[in-house]
């Protein structure tokens, strides 16, 4: 079974307009043959951007996760320590943390960010 973690943009698109996500990624997320994780980093980033007015209110994260049977991915010290191993290819701390989580948990990171595949991490284009 495939193990995916959605980046923030992909999670928001899934909630608001899944048609914006590439077909292969949409299938992988919806197929029922993947475990799909949502990181606490994603919901934290969404909360900050919403509070700053950079993101419109989205549907309830918890409601969406329950409806879609997505699994919460907590942030651990092991994940934050892994960020020290990453080259500074990407300046966004949330994206760097998602890369670290994907690496430590052997997850495929679903993203449309062109910088993420430059890391030594499994990705699926969203």
- Domains of the chain: which residue ranges? 2-125
Architecture field, domain 2-125: 3-Layer(aba) Sandwich (3.40)
Helices (H), 1-126: 8-16, 23-30, 40-51, 61-68, 77-82, 93-105
pLDDT tens digits, the chain, 126 residues: what are they? 899 999 999 999 999 899 999 999 999 999 989 999 999 999 999 999 999 999 887 768 889 899 999 999 999 999 999 999 999 998 899 999 999 999 999 999 999 999 999 999 999 999
Give the global pTM. 0.94
Look-up: residue for tokens 């879609």? 68
Task: Give the residues across from 2 on adjacent strands.
Answer: 34
CA distances from 30 to 27, 91, 119 (A): 5, 30, 26
Residues 6+ apart with CB under 8 A from 57: 50
Per-residue model confidence (pLDDT) at position 18: 95
């Amino acid at each position: 079974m495939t193990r995916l973690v959605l980046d923030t943009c992909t999670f928001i698109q899934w909630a608001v307009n899944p048609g914006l996500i590439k077909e292969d990624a949409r299938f992988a997320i919806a197929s029922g043959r993947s475990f799909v994780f949502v990181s606490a980093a994603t919901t934290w980033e969404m909360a900050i951007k919403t509070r700053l007015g950079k993101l419109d209110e989205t549907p309830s994260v918890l409601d969406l996760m329950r409806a879609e049977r997505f699994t919460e991915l907590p942030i651990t010290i092991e994940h934050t320590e892994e960020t020290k191993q990453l080259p500074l290819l990407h300046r966004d701390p949330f994206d760097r943390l998602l890369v670290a989580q994907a690496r430590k948990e052997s997850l495929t990171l679903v993203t449309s960010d062109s910088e993420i595949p430059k890391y030594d991490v499994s990705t699926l284009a969203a």
